[in-house]
Amino acid sequence: MKRLESIKDLDKLRESIIEKNNCYQKTITICGGPGCHAIGSEDLRANFEREIKERGLADKIRLIFSGCHGFCEQGPLAVIRPEGILYCKLRMEDIVPIITETLVEGKIIDSLLYEDQNVGKVVYEKDVPFYRSQKRLLLEQNELVNPTIIDDYIANGGYMAFGKTLLDMKPDEVISKIKDSGLRGRGGAGFPTGIKWESCRKAKDETKYIICNCDEGDPGAYMDRSVLEGNPHLVLEGMLIGAYAIGSETGFIYVRHEYPWAWENAGIAIKQAKELGLLGENILGSGMNFDIDIARGGGAFVCGESTALVASLEGRAGEPRDKQHLHTVESGLWEKPTNLNNVETWANVPFIINNGADWYSQIGTAKSKGTKIFSLVGKVKNTGLVEVPMGMSLKEIVYDIGGGTPDGAEVKAVQTGGPSGGCIPGNLLDIPVDFDELTKAGSMMGSGGMIVMDIKTCMVDVARYFVRFLKDESCGKCLPCREGLKRMDEILTDIIEGRGTMGSIDLMEELALVMTDASLCGLGRTAPNSVLSTLKYFRDEYIAHVIDKKCPAGVCTSLITYSINEENCTGCGACKRNCPYEAIEGERRKKHRIIPELCQKCGICLDSCKFDAVEVS
Amino acid sequence: MELSMVDSIVDSHNRKTWALISILQDIQKEDGYLSQEVLRRVAERMDIPLTRLYEVATFYRSLSLIPQGKHNITICSGTACHVRGSNRILNELTRHLEIEPGGTTEDGEFTLNVVNCLGACAIGPVVVIDGKYHGKMTPSKTMDLLEKCRSKE
């Protein structure tokens, strides 16, 4: 690759790539996001590539193996352009028909289309209800690029925003633009990005660092990885613009080690950008120097907190420090001014520069601007990544986009904000996604996990799940968090195992206040949120555990019993064969029975019964 | 692991402290764990106190000071998998293998790990066995897979 010496060179390169790509009549994009990858999209790609080559179509059909498209439930996915045809749940045997019928002859294969229960078969991706209500500013780009090919990004207008800042804007103007856009940090707290940049720029030190936080530790959340692994150059461009505005020459991307494709793709992107002269010294002949390195995380949730992440980068245990008196923007990495933003925040920056602050600030609500990516998961029909304008109600996201629960049951709660967030009950789903509204409801935006729960989800169990998660992840530096979470886990376990009293609930509420007030960092201060929000909205369920010794959702094993409904039992013997504890008796073709003394409540009988005869009470 | 290999891994990261976790992960990828000998060598080569290395190696979940089993079973305990019943799978495995998460069976066959989230929520509950993802798992399906692992040998 020839090094680019100016913005003109970049424009020329773009034109030549577009011209080169003009030879392709069709493009087929196979989703290589985490969900599709896990069910074999890599093999599909390899076979598609071979078939296209063998049929002598390689100069007419372009195959893109891209990042996540979002509609994970229907994966593996493929989109055929220019038409925008969406094919779902692809199998190996679909490859040849797709090539011969759709790509060559232009025919639609009905059996591969998405079928919606209300509108029937849908041909085009844009018409699928899951996509229709979204505003896919960032995620749409994922479908257009192969993350390991910089040409794809450049052809789609990549690095234009950076070129514009270099050519036309002073650093202060960039900061004003980001401030005017109303962009707030997507990592969780929602701090105004422009103000953070300004503070870092003003900090008195020649050396400044910028960091991209991709230590996405929230369970049930995969937005950041999908952006970084699906479109790494977008993040690099955002960081380049930030480096220019702040005056930094060194950047780091801190990535969870569990996300190998994210750090591999980011690494490839950095190498390519360096070769082209978009990173390194004298970038595009402007005199600007900026370089990015990748640091892998070690699997510690607390490292999502800025000061803990900084400690980790310094080669120490990821323990946070008090931020009240010393901010990272003034004294962060190696005690130098450090600006840390989340992946999604950085990825929004090029859009703001290209389209203007006014354009951006028109999307969203009064105080929450732009779009937000959520990972919509749990008991929801259309699991996937969704990107919506701020201000859309939770109801629209869960029902219109997510399609409600898989069996049509009522949504009991939606959990947002990860372990630091809370559960919003089904009757309050009119709340818009907005930093402040979600906080008011006792939850928070967080980085974008959205977990749907139905009547079979026990809220006490959910609260303990998050408390245990945080107990395991607490770094142990401060006492309220370290000990508070342990005690909270014990109290919740007492409740779940039938030993709780009303006093347990009072004690937990008192403990929650102490932890909120006295913990050192955000992890400890927000740790009681799951308990407080479930107590606020689902106190009845706690009382059922404590007073009636019952788990209404049928989850807490100490409080439930398994039995066989004689009317439904056909005597097939599947449960008896599969029970590892020999706790089921009954002759073939006769009614079976669970022996309570032997039953370990593992639930294997429930999974193996095809006749709904195993009941939980 | 040959100590020369440790040196070359450390050097490939230019001995930078910010890459310490990556260095230890790369070493662990070869051996399955971090031995005392290896940690001493890294400390020497990077000029970092051994106590600091021990602090890091014990703090981060991805690093292990104990040898791993022949087969690695990882259960995703992300929220999406949890509400779909991953806990039942975990309970069943700990009972069956008689080990806690992070542990290795006495015969050295299986190591059981729990991960916070793999980002494959659409196919949850997810169980990963020796790097291969298995979606929509139940306790009985997981047990079948373990038996297959055993019978392959």
Q: What is the DSSP string of A337-352?
A: -EEEEEHHHHHHHHHH
Residue B150: band (very low, low, confident or very high) from pLDDT cuts 50, 70, 90: confident
What pLDDT is attached to residue B61? 87
Claim to verify: residue B76 and residue B135 sit in the same structural domain:
yes
Q: What angle do CA A518, B61, A329 make, to 5 degrees?
A: 50
- Which residue's entry shows tokens 């369970």? A219
**Residues within 8 A of A (CB atoms), B 4-23 only:** 16-22
d(CA A329, CA A315): 20
> Quick check: bond before B49 cis, omega within 30?
no
pLDDT digits 0-9 by tens, A173-219? 999 999 999 999 998 889 999 999 999 999 999 999 999 999 988 88
* ipTM surpassing 0.85: yes
Domain at B77, CATH number: 3.40.30.10
d(CA A345, CA A349): 7
What pLDDT is attached to residue A396? 97
What pLDDT is attached to residue A138? 97
* Residue A81 backbone phi and psi in degrees, to 5: -115, 155
Does the CB of A261 have a partner CB in chain B at under 8 Å? no
Claim to verify: residue B130 and residue B94 sit in the same structural domain:
yes
* Residue A260 backbone phi and psi in degrees, to 5: -60, -40
Q: How far is A553 from chain B (nearest CA, A)?
A: 11
Q: Where in chain A is the domain with CATH 3.40.30.10?
A: 20-130
Task: Tell me the helices (H) and strands (E) count for chain A, helix number first.
Answer: 25, 20
**Residues within 8 A of A (CB atoms), B 71-100 only:** 77-85, 87-88, 91-92, 95-96
pLDDT digits 0-9 by tens, A239-270? 999 999 999 999 999 999 888 899 999 999 99
Whether A52 shows a pLDDT value over 90: the answer reads yes
3-state secondary structure (DSSP) of residue A246: helix
Q: Is residue B18 part of a domain?
A: yes
For residue A375, the chain B residues in CB contact (below 8 A) are 119, 121
Claim to verify: residue B7 and residue B77 sit in the same structural domain:
no
Claim to verify: residue B81 and residue B11 sit in the same structural domain:
no
pLDDT digits 0-9 by tens, A294-316? 999 998 999 989 999 999 999 99
Q: Which two tokens stand for residue B33?
A: 């764990």
Among B35, B59, B83, residue at a domain's last position: B59
Note the CATH number of domain A561-616.
3.30.70.20
Phi-psi region of A582 (alpha: psi -120 to 50; beta: other; left: phi over 0): left
Whether A121 shows a pLDDT value over 70: the answer reads yes
Q: Residue B51's closest chain A neighbor by CA?
A: A316
Residue A38: band (very low, low, confident or very high) from pLDDT cuts 50, 70, 90: confident
Order of strands, sheet of B132-134, starting from the edge strand that comes earlier in the sequence: B110-115, B71-76, B127-129, B132-134
According to CATH, the topology of domain A150-361 is Rossmann fold (3.40.50)
What pLDDT is attached to residue A603? 83
Q: How far is B37 from chain A (nearest CA, A)?
A: 20
Whether A324 shows a pLDDT value over 80: the answer reads no
Kindly state the average pLDDT of the residues A506-526.
95
Residue A2: band (very low, low, confident or very high) from pLDDT cuts 50, 70, 90: confident
For residue A37, the chain B residues in CB contact (below 8 A) are 120
Q: What angle do CA A413, A417, A418 make, to 5 degrees?
A: 90
d(CA A292, CA A271): 10
Q: Is residue B64 part of a domain?
A: no
Whether B153 shows a pLDDT value over 70: the answer reads no
Rounded percentage of chain A residues whose pLDDT exceeds 70 = 100
Q: List Cβ neighbours of A139 (8 Å cut-off, separation of 6 or more).
A: A68, A69, A70, A226, A227, A230, A373, A385, A387
What is the extent of the structural domain holding B110?
A: 71-151
For residue A220, the chain B residues in CB contact (below 8 A) are 78-81, 117, 121
Claim to verify: residue B24 and residue B87 sit in the same structural domain:
no
Note the CATH number of domain A459-548.
1.20.1440.230
Amino acid A396 reads E
What pLDDT is attached to residue A374? 96
pTM: 0.93
Domain formed by A20-130, architecture:
3-Layer(aba) Sandwich (3.40)
Claim to verify: residue B113 and residue B133 sit in the same structural domain:
yes
Amino acid B66 reads I
Q: Where in chain A is the domain with CATH 3.40.50.11540?
A: 150-361
Q: List Cβ neighbours of A335 (8 Å cut-off, separation of 6 or more).
A: none
d(CA A334, CA A365): 38
Choice among A256-260, A320-324, A514-518 with the minimum mean pLDDT? A320-324
Claim to verify: residue B42 and residue B77 sit in the same structural domain:
no
When divided into structural domains, chain B yields a total of 2
Indicate the average pLDDT of chain A: 94
CATH of A371-454, picked from 3.10.20.600, 1.10.10.10, 2.40.110.10, 3.90.25.10, is: 3.10.20.600
Q: Is residue B101 part of a domain?
A: yes
Rounded percentage of chain A residues whose pLDDT exceeds 90 = 87
What pLDDT is attached to residue A604? 84
Claim to verify: residue B119 and residue B79 sit in the same structural domain:
yes
Question: In this structure, what DSSP letter does residue A4 have?
Answer: P
Residue A373: enclosing H or E segment and its boundaries?
Answer: strand A371-378
pLDDT digits 0-9 by tens, A480-491? 999 999 999 999
